[in-house]
Structure 1
């Protein structure tokens, strides 16, 4: 009976949203509609890609199953390989024709991804997202590096996107080559599937690693702590075990700054735990600090970052509801978890729920988090105390090879202050950083990341914009003017896609789409977010049934409960206090001191 009521409520919510729009409703009604939409998405937009490709036999169980493993195994005790490193990406659209990789000629042509990059994505003038600061851009890359990374199929012939005769791509790097994505045979309905290099869980793998060699190399092996150098990062030698062409090649100063911050936070938690529980071993301190640090990152993403980038009053309340429940933070602090309902009491500490489908992240989730326009063309370094400009650094000099030199020269407090004072780019057409469109790689090649972003969605079978909306039960755009309220963009889209609105690539449509009030990204992308943001918490036992003092310790639980992005920043950089005193959300713009 409950299931029938939930199904009817979901259908009513979709109808109200279609006719009125959830964002046009009063906050209380908008929340009801969003809850109904989430129920509907859970019922119709979760699809399993299949078992772990390494086979059904799980690795040996760890000695202590109350802690996170490095590779994510045994996060679910009944299905030890679920969500572990190497597990397959699932889908939010039904397996079958809509989720099959496009034919090879459509991947690199129809229109060429490079043509899309040049005529629709390339930044002309930097357009800032003035409601955010640059920490917001750094944060999402920090989280993405925890959640997902595909493998390259280096043994296969690469893609060669078509280059027009007037294309300025350097002749020495012609033809343009893009490695294919490593795939695995799937089922008849879902014939091609893709493994995740990282774990799917919200487990801090972007700082702790996803394989034991690196994870062991960064440890101090005393007091649970991580070894950090003068630049705030683990030793260079620890990186020798990592694939130089893997995620480490995609780092930049913003990402490294947050990695350093939360490794320092790990060590701070270790010190507090040791003070409270001197009998704890090095391994116990490490494992418990990792649990608390990871849960704190999940909390910050939910109640700090997300309300900043989708700052509509309804979504701000919804995201706080995901963590604290609609009864609110104060009720939980005073009374504990009185109700089992995730709506009333929040997801953390409740029951683990996969909603009928084994947990994984999805190809569609990867697609909607393609947010490279957030990166600016340059960063002005300012003194934390005075706001005095020291120097301006171009984006190309903030990337991988320049990370450690920059962190070695500039104080972390000055860098955080500078990020807080700067704006990211808006997620629009014509705002993709050109430094990323001619990006040197460790092997000496060049990459146009905008071309790659378009190509990857086609290659992996993520539907194009209109079909993606149909699969989420949203109205497709009948014309280019339906898609965007910018007449100039509509004309450009029609020209590039030869008048066929059905051919518009998903990422292009997401950047062109008119957004709800306060939104940093599109409402279409938000539908995947509604579904997957709560799923990352509700599927993880360490954030649900095992989010309790018996696992985290009382100190660990208090650490998560009492801290936020603001308190983390101030713990390690107290000189930021005068500036942050007047900031409601640390991911919103910081005023000059």
Structure 2
């Protein structure tokens, strides 16, 4: 039985942008898509694969950007000289569309709007999402992603908290009946629905708004409200006030929503918050030394610009090549930042062309393809990566690698973060994460702690069940329909999807019909390209949105220049990497990073002590 969707009339503004590409570009991009369908980009010689990826990106930009409209509040266009810094709420990044990408703005779509109507209340719960959680997602044994370290798992949550957050609907929660034999403490299981944007028209599919800005602006650290952003500052030298564990003073936490992203805080996130808050202060100190006349506000604003750009660079050239370590995609991601001419040549010659393929996106003209910037519901869906979290984490000594303590994931969450940061040095904790593996993004690998997670009020939640329902309720198509929307061939059988008889039989028993297969389950079940941590289907959204997050952002494009960042700020970004940030603040990590090509790959163990720590 296929999905049952309510008939709707598309919203007037929720339309893909017209295809204004020159005919030659359209022909080449279509050819690239045909080659990919026949051969697969990952099987091609790397230069040919890069050409195909460029063509795929062109096709996706032309056909898979859907504008869902602006919120009700309209702001007048801005002038660059009056908006040279990042606003707390993300307004005026796009001077023509000041609300684009700001807090409260809507998520866009990567599929035609007619595919985004939620299924009716009976169909949307089939198959039962709790059954899917227990039968297909529950971790039987930990499957590690051996090419990555645990910092890679913490990093993506750190970035996701910067990019988006949905608001819960306080009334009429989802009620999920329990399958036979389920021992969950309440029947039905209850959790909030997602709040729809009140300005959506009645005859169109629901649209949703982000409570934080979509821009890559470091809002997860700097704050989502003006009050929090002000309270964490010292108001001297552009610095942020940090306590003994490297976080803003504990009293500032009263300004955070306890049911929002703060509820998802854990030790891995805290380490990255502390590291990049320290980095902000180091940038501010360097700017103050170089420019003594700069005010506290100017130092703070400029340090934030530099820090956000550094994080975007690290994500682009360090984290992403670690998790999609195919030679073609490594070259593609470095090309997004440095251009195909490469880091050395671009560094020597500077930008001599506005072409972002040759010289990289930073410093190129701002380009949104005719669709104002917003992250999309499909982007959110493919970034559901909770299997990266392990069940336990070993805390080690960076001196001799011995295990100091082993903690279950449940003991590393929000209420225990400061205790763990105080018990061991940040360098040792970072070393521990560098030595540990995250989980693989696959079926039967969802962490147990996330399937019985305590809410701030103490009631439990199964995050795997919630993840399934979030994708369904927000109108993201199921797996095969999602592939068709991206012009990929649908799978005809579960065996064709997985290549494994046992897994195919499990999927068939739960779903019956291949058309009912959930997107998240299909992404976990799908074989991955060589070197990839996630599926090729998910990668299609990444091809489109990874470059778009940079090319739409004025502070990475038209205003990525010394007049805005200062010469010192530009040099800081140019010379910054994840390795340099780690070693700037924790130089004792040098031996652990020696010989490690990517800081998100496993680190080098410290030499064992001659004395047994546990005689």
TM-score by length of 2: 0.94
Matched, 1:35 2:51: no
- Structure 2: segments with no counterpart, 5+ residues: 1-19, 607-615
Give the stretch that moved more between structures: 232-241 or 193-202.
232-241
In structure 2, relative to structure 1, the CA distance for the partners of 1:528 and 1:189 (3 Å cut) is farther
User: What SS does structure 1 have at the residue aligned with 2:404?
Assistant: strand
State the Cα distance separating 1:64 from its structure 2 match: 4.0
The 1:58/1:115 distance shift into structure 2, 3 A limit, reads: farther
Match of 1:159 in 2: 174
Residue 138, structure 1, aligned to residue 151, structure 2: no
Q: After superposition, where does 1:174-573 map in structure 2 within 5 Å?
A: 174-184=187-197, 185-187=199-201, 190-497=204-511, 499-573=512-586
CA-to-partner distance for each residue in 1:560-579, whole Å, 9 max, x for gaps? Answer: 00110000000000000011
Cα deviation 1:111-162 (Å, max 9, x = unaligned): 01100000000111000000100000000000000001100011x2100112
**Unpaired segments ≥5 residues, structure 1:** none
Distance 2:161 2:97 in 1: 24
1:455-505 CA-partner distances (Å, limit 9, x unpaired): 0011000000000000000011100011112221110000000x2000000
| Contact 1:95 1:189 survives alignment (8 Å) | no
Tell whether the 8 Å contact from 2:78 to 2:98 is kept in structure 1 after alignment: no
> Pick from 101, 113, 116: which aligns with 1:99?
116
How far off its partner does 1:62 sit? 10
Query: How far apart are residue 242 of structure 1 and its match?
Result: 1.5
> Taking structure 1 as reference, are residues 63 and 348 closer, same or farther at Cα in structure 2, changes over 3 Å only?
closer
In the alignment, what sits opposite 1:76? 94
Q: Distance in 2 between matches of 1:444 and 1:547?
A: 46
TM-score by length of 1: 0.97
SS in 2 for 1:207: helix
Counterpart for residue 4 of structure 2: none
- Mapped to 2, the partners of 1:235 and 1:411 lie a distance apart of 18
Does the CA contact (< 8 Å) of 1:58 and 1:81 recur in 2?
no
Question: Does residue 1:14 correspond to 2:33, yes or no?
Answer: yes
**Count of residue correspondences:** 586
Once residues 554 and 69 of structure 2 are traced to their aligned partners in structure 1, the CA distance between those partners, rounded to angstroms, is 21
Q: By how many angstroms is 1:73 displaced?
A: 0.5
Q: CA deviation at 1:57?
A: 3.8
Q: 2 CA distance for matches of 1:443 and 1:102?
A: 31
Aligned partners of 1:391, 1:447: CA distance in 2, in Å?
A: 27
SS at match of 1:473: coil
Kept after mapping to 2: 8 A contact 1:22/1:34: yes
Q: Is 1:45 equivalent to 2:64 in the alignment?
A: yes
Q: Which residue of structure 2 aligns with residue 115 of structure 1?
A: 131
Q: Over aligned residues, Cα RMSD in angstroms?
A: 1.4
Task: Tell me if structure 2 keeps the 8 A contact 1:125–1:431.
Answer: yes
Separation (CA, whole Å) in 1 of partners of 2:73 and 2:98: 12
Mapped to 2, the partners of 1:169 and 1:2 lie a distance apart of 54
Displacement of 1:402: 1.0
Cα shift at 1:59: 11
Q: Which segments of structure 1 move beyond 3 Å, counting only runs of 4 or more?
A: 57-64, 187-190
